[in-house]
Chain A
Amino acid sequence: MNAIGRPSFRSLNQEGIVFAIAVALFAAAAIGLPGFLTADNIVAIVRSVSVLGILALGMAVVIIGRGIDLSAVAIMAMSVAWYLQLLNTGTPDGLAFAYVLVGVLAIGLLNGFLVAYADVPAIFVTLATGSFVFGYVRSQLITQDAVPVPQGHWVELLGGLRFLDIPVEVFVFAGLAFLFFLFLRYTKWGRYIYFAGDNPVAARNIGIPVRPMLVLRYVLSAFVALIAGLLTAASLHSINTRVVNSTLLYDIVLVAVIGGIGLSGGRGGVRNVLVGAALIGILLNAMTIIDIPLLYQNLIKAAILLGAIIVDGIINPRDEQTAQQGDI
């Protein structure tokens, strides 16, 4: 997506390449792997990347604004774990949800405040808050690693919901993707994110409220993480907090970066997330069908992510003369 009207066929190229690879992979898998090209499997692919894609949407908004949110997975798992724990110990549903919502927004605000007003690099802020959120909820608020969804609760019912045999999270992903597309493309604040990500100082000079917008992005990301967490709990009927220590977080960054959203900000959009999610979904599904163990899948994903970052570094090179000191 050409964000601010300057020729960027290089990024278009990257997105195109990834899309081509995804299509080629899809074709190869369809021909080579029995059981790949079935309706059930296609639905499974889309379903498997739904939660990942939703999280990647939140991450994309933050990255376009030249930030990163490493606390997304911790917020996703721990907020829902706390919610379910509250329900299991008899707290009324509305009150429990209000607690969790306030908690999630508070963490988003804290992230945004430290990044925007205390000028702390986003990477460290979100690394620290992610660690804190996991540690605090795990040690103070819940009692075991996995928290089940109470019998007959709406989260459980949500997981069973189907339209045309397609699980509900696919629709949520599609809906959110469309909303984010509208937000980034057609609203004033959405455009501001690109300006602030491309050149924060210039954005500030022309009067864009850069700092409040930064806070908004982290709050948005935290809120999206909560939605993703609820969907995860809905499909699995429980939430396992060990997911925080898994590679899910890096999968999210992988989806965003491999789709062509430059880490230096100001570029990319919802379409890039969709392309990235498609490639990762096909890849994971194919690896599962071939029966590659999970550990090896991690290795392969890490290798792909490394390749993506190297390509990103070559396509969007950092300028020695203008790079900020301490921008690591």
Chain B
Amino acid sequence: MSFRERLQSWRYNLVPDHLVGEILTKRWTDNAIPFLALVATLGVFGSVIPGFFKLSSLQESTRQLGEFSMVVTGMTVVMLGGGIDLSVGSIFALSCFSAVYVFFILEQSIWLALVAALATGLIFGAINGYLVGYLRLRAFLTTLVTFIFGRALFDILVTTYAADVQLSQASSDVLDFIGDGTFWGLSVSVWLAIILAIVTHIALTRSRPGWHVLAVGGSRRSAHNAGIRVRRTVFMTYVFSGFCASIGGFLIACRLSGAGPGTGLNLEIMALTAAVVGGVSLGGGRGSVVKGLMGAIIVLTMTNGLIRLGYGTGTNQMVLGIMLAVAVTIDIRWLKNRHKVLNEVYVAPVYLKMGETQSAVPGSGTPYQLDNRLSVADHIGLGELEGPEDVILDRDDHLYCGTRHGEIVRFFAPDYVRSEVFAHIGGFPLGLAFDKSGNLISCVGAMGLYSVSPEREVKRLSAETSRSWTSIVDDARLRDPNDCDIAPDGRIYFTDSTKRYDAHDWALDSIENRATGRLLVYDPRDGSTKTLLDGYRYTNGVCMAHDGKSLFFAESWACRVHRYWLEGPKAGTAECVIRDMPGYPDNINRASDGNYWMAWLGMRTPSFDLSLRHPDMRKRMTRRLPQDEWLFPNINTGGVVKFNEKGGIVEAMGDLSGAAHPMVTSMREHKGYLFVGGILNNRIGRYKIAGADPDWTSPASYWGAKS
């Protein structure tokens, strides 16, 4: 290995590039930017302002934060539902005034004042909700106008009653406690804000109305078509926002024991900025209460900090303006380009030097040399089938295969002309196997392991395994279950080819070439799924050895076949039995003469082998070229190979014309014939094997002669 290659292998095999893409697929990355902004803001102001973190100073700022974050929580919910509420400042001020009026002027109890404040907020919110939700007016302008309206009303009321409030003798211990007291070290407003945030968070993430809000915000039309009452949901978000703002207003009434012209001034732009800076998306559907709270802390720290640093009038607005513009722009750009970024960085190729191989060229004299035998195979279902990845025959000689449309199709013996849809599963049924009682077990691409009873009942056996501790991408889910086979004791051994790509993206996995394939076992006795082996380059076909004490499985992109021992001294370990083949192996099945058939889905090429030693080149290729122009493994020529128990190659056959069976992903021997399938083919081939046992069938080989 040259020094350059060694460097490349270190660079691309040891540096975990793939984690960048995996992290970007996570929804919590949306939280990372506001969180960093929060830490930075607190850090900067904490270090610039002396005594910023002192208890007394925090006490006062958190009181304000409690009121503010409630307003932001309401705003967050409205924005999640796809709207916006600019009238929160007015609702806040009017609720504050209602409480003050009831308490100081009417001299009623503080609880009645609370009721008055809440009623004000709910009514105001209901007006907004009616206009925006039911009349479908534009949220921004409508709430802007109700904001002006509310503000004008508040200004009139405050100037009219200010003197009366000043002269009032009313007082209450409860009011003083709410305004100034603490409970376990935290002020009442902070406690209320925390409770409100938790309740709202649970409601949004765990309850039907909350999901409806997110659904409406995510896609109004789809929500409507799904039967959600969109208008009522939107209405309720504004009522909730009014409710939140009114609690905030009540709290400030208690804290300041009055209402002034400055109450709730600029609150709407602050709350909006907080929600957007926190990462609540404009237009709805994306965001959370926690994000809103992070934004609230950032904005309040920034504005209060600037005041305490002594910057003059207007600085706040300037900073709010900058923050709002930057946050909105980032939000829009991020939303728009996230998938592009993800597409660019997700494929992270690794270095692999493939071993020298023997030639498969016809006439080269090696055991791998292909011939043209498969080109004379009869065809079954020509033009009716799309993508019979695996084929299998039952005891009555009927033929089954999966299709691209998520169906399992049955062709009737003896001539295989008539066919029917045996079962519809969905996904892409790949590997097939019959168990002892005649259930058809299938690995369904993108879905999991399924069982179809002879009565055509579809049952899911497994869709997940245990999750590994260190993985970032969710590797509990089976993304590409590929082939399965069943041990004499009934346990189902199957492969999951890759953790990083969905089934239909298998070609991307070949370019990346990262070893994430697994061998798993499903135990029908307790329904558990366990991972047996991990870290292979696209695990593919599985086949029980004739004695049932071990199994063979194919590792496609490494062109190897391994043997995994179920019993005996090597139980639980795997060893490589065939290495450095000239083709990419796919499914493996038993042959009547005690050997094994193996399908080749494609052939290695010097150019692709070379590209595997240049991960940098493949990385550039995936980033800069359109997918049509990428270098892929050659899947235009495949074949069928027979190997023996020891891993020695017995013979190989192919279709050199490429007309009938260019790519072979599966073959099954049955009564002297070989049935050949291909995942990109439009037919099943039937080929008469010279000298094969005319009575041998696979079900009999596995489960004994028919009883």
A: which residues have CB within 8 A of B? Answer: 114, 118-121, 123-125, 127-140, 145, 247, 250, 253, 263, 295-296, 298-299, 301-303, 305-306, 309-310, 313-314, 317-318, 320-321, 323, 325-328
Is the CB of B41 closer than 8 A to any CB of chain A? Answer: no
Given A118-B329, A134-B321, A328-B82, 6 extra CB contacts under 8 A: A128-B321, A131-B317, A135-B316, A299-B153, A313-B135, A328-B282
Cβ contact of B146, chosen from A136, A139, A306, A318, cutoff 8 A? A306
Instruction: Find chain A residues with CB under 8 A from B136 CB.
Output: 313, 317-318, 320
Q: Which of B137-145, B343-351, B518-526 contacts A (4 or more CB under 8 A)?
A: B137-145
Instruction: Find chain B residues with CB under 8 A from A133 CB.
Output: 321
Interface secondary structure of A, over-half rule: helix
A138 to B142, CA, bound (A): 29
The 10 closest A-B pairs by CB, nearest first: A326-B283, A135-B318, A138-B314, A132-B321, A135-B317, A131-B321, A139-B314, A128-B325, A302-B149, A298-B152
Distance in Å from the Cβ of B344 to the closest Cβ of chain A?
20
Instruction: Find chain A residues with CB under 8 A from B149 CB.
Output: 299, 302-303, 306
Is the CB of B707 closer than 8 A to any CB of chain A? Answer: no
Contact of B155 with A295 in the complex, beta carbons under 8 Å: yes
Distance in Å from the Cβ of A53 to the closest Cβ of chain B?
20
Contact of B156 with A130 in the complex, beta carbons under 8 Å: no
A226 to B152, CA, bound (A): 28
Is the CB of B220 closer than 8 A to any CB of chain A? Answer: yes
Q: How large is the interface on B (under 10, 10 to 19, 20 to 34, 35 or more residues)?
A: 35 or more
Is the CB of B677 closer than 8 A to any CB of chain A? Answer: no
Distance in Å from the Cβ of A216 to the closest Cβ of chain B?
20
Instruction: Find chain B residues with CB under 8 A from A303 CB.
Output: 149
Q: Which of B224, B311, B318 has most chain A Cβ within 10 Å? A: B318
Is the CB of B159 closer than 8 A to any CB of chain A? Answer: yes
Interface secondary structure of B, over-half rule: helix
| Contact residues, B106-152 vs A (CB, 8 A) | 131, 135-142, 144-146, 148-149, 151-152
Is the CB of B341 closer than 8 A to any CB of chain A? Answer: no
Contact of A139 with B328 in the complex, beta carbons under 8 Å: no
Is the CB of B704 closer than 8 A to any CB of chain A? Answer: no
A310 to B318, CA, bound (A): 33
A/B interface sample: 12 pairs, CB < 8 A = A114-B329, A124-B324, A128-B325, A135-B316, A136-B321, A306-B142, A306-B149, A310-B135, A325-B82, A325-B284, A327-B283, A328-B282
Contact of A132 with B317 in the complex, beta carbons under 8 Å: yes
Contact of A121 with B145 in the complex, beta carbons under 8 Å: no
Provided the pairs A263-B138, A328-B82 are in contact, do residues A320 and B221 lie with their beta carbons within 8 angstroms? yes
A121 to B336, CA, bound (A): 13
Contact of B145 with A302 in the complex, beta carbons under 8 Å: yes
| Contact residues, B517-556 vs A (CB, 8 A) | none
Distance in Å from the Cβ of B231 to the closest Cβ of chain A?
10
A263 to B139, CA, bound (A): 12
Instruction: Find chain A residues with CB under 8 A from B145 CB.
Output: 250, 302, 305-306, 309
A157 to B21, CA, bound (A): 66
Tell me the nearest residue of chain A to B315, going by C-beta.
A139
A314 to B131, CA, bound (A): 11
Contact of A326 with B82 in the complex, beta carbons under 8 Å: yes
Provided the pairs A128-B328, A298-B152 are in contact, do residues A135 and B269 lie with their beta carbons within 8 angstroms? no
| Interface bits B330-350 vs A (CB < 8 Å: 1, else 0) | 001100100000000000000
A123 to B131, CA, bound (A): 19
Provided the pairs A132-B318, A295-B156 are in contact, do residues A326 and B284 lie with their beta carbons within 8 angstroms? yes
Contact of A135 with B135 in the complex, beta carbons under 8 Å: no
Q: Which of A247, A306, A318 has most chain B Cβ within 10 Å? A: A306
Contact of A119 with B139 in the complex, beta carbons under 8 Å: no
Instruction: Find chain A residues with CB under 8 A from B272 CB.
Output: 127
Tell me the nearest residue of chain A to B328, going by C-beta.
A124
Contact of A313 with B138 in the complex, beta carbons under 8 Å: yes
Contact of A247 with B328 in the complex, beta carbons under 8 Å: no
Instruction: Find chain B residues with CB under 8 A from A314 CB.
Output: 135
| Interface bits B142-184 vs A (CB < 8 Å: 1, else 0) | 1011101101110110010000000000000000000000000
Is the CB of B33 closer than 8 A to any CB of chain A? Answer: no
Instruction: Find chain B residues with CB under 8 A from A253 CB.
Output: 141
Tell me the nearest residue of chain B to A304, going by C-beta.
B145
Cβ contact of B269, chosen from A131, A298, A320, cutoff 8 A? A131
A328 to B318, CA, bound (A): 24
A133 to B269, CA, bound (A): 15
Instruction: Find chain B residues with CB under 8 A from A263 CB.
Output: 138, 141
Provided the pairs A129-B325, A131-B324, A306-B149 are in contact, do residues A320 and B224 lie with their beta carbons within 8 angstroms? yes
Instruction: Find chain A residues with CB under 8 A from B336 CB.
Output: 119
Provided the pairs A135-B319, A298-B152 are in contact, do residues A313 and B137 lie with their beta carbons within 8 angstroms? yes
Is the CB of B322 closer than 8 A to any CB of chain A? Answer: yes
A135 to B135, CA, bound (A): 36
A40 to B336, CA, bound (A): 57
A305 to B142, CA, bound (A): 9
Cβ contact of B318, chosen from A131, A320, A321, cutoff 8 A? A131
Instruction: Find chain A residues with CB under 8 A from B224 CB.
Output: 320
Instruction: Find chain B residues with CB under 8 A from A295 CB.
Output: 152, 155-156, 159
A181 to B137, CA, bound (A): 29
Cβ contact of A302, chosen from B152, B313, B322, cutoff 8 A? B152
Is the CB of B227 closer than 8 A to any CB of chain A? Answer: no
Distance in Å from the Cβ of A295 to the closest Cβ of chain B?
5
Provided the pairs A121-B282, A299-B156 are in contact, do residues A309 and B141 lie with their beta carbons within 8 angstroms? yes
A271 to B158, CA, bound (A): 40
Cβ contact of B313, chosen from A139, A306, A321, cutoff 8 A? A139
Distance in Å from the Cβ of A298 to the closest Cβ of chain B?
4
Instruction: Find chain A residues with CB under 8 A from B328 CB.
Output: 120-121, 124-125, 128
Cβ contact of B138, chosen from A128, A129, A140, A328, cutoff 8 A? A328
| Interface bits B12-37 vs A (CB < 8 Å: 1, else 0) | 00000000000000000000000000
Contact of A136 with B318 in the complex, beta carbons under 8 Å: yes
Is the CB of B615 closer than 8 A to any CB of chain A? Answer: no
A137 to B320, CA, bound (A): 14
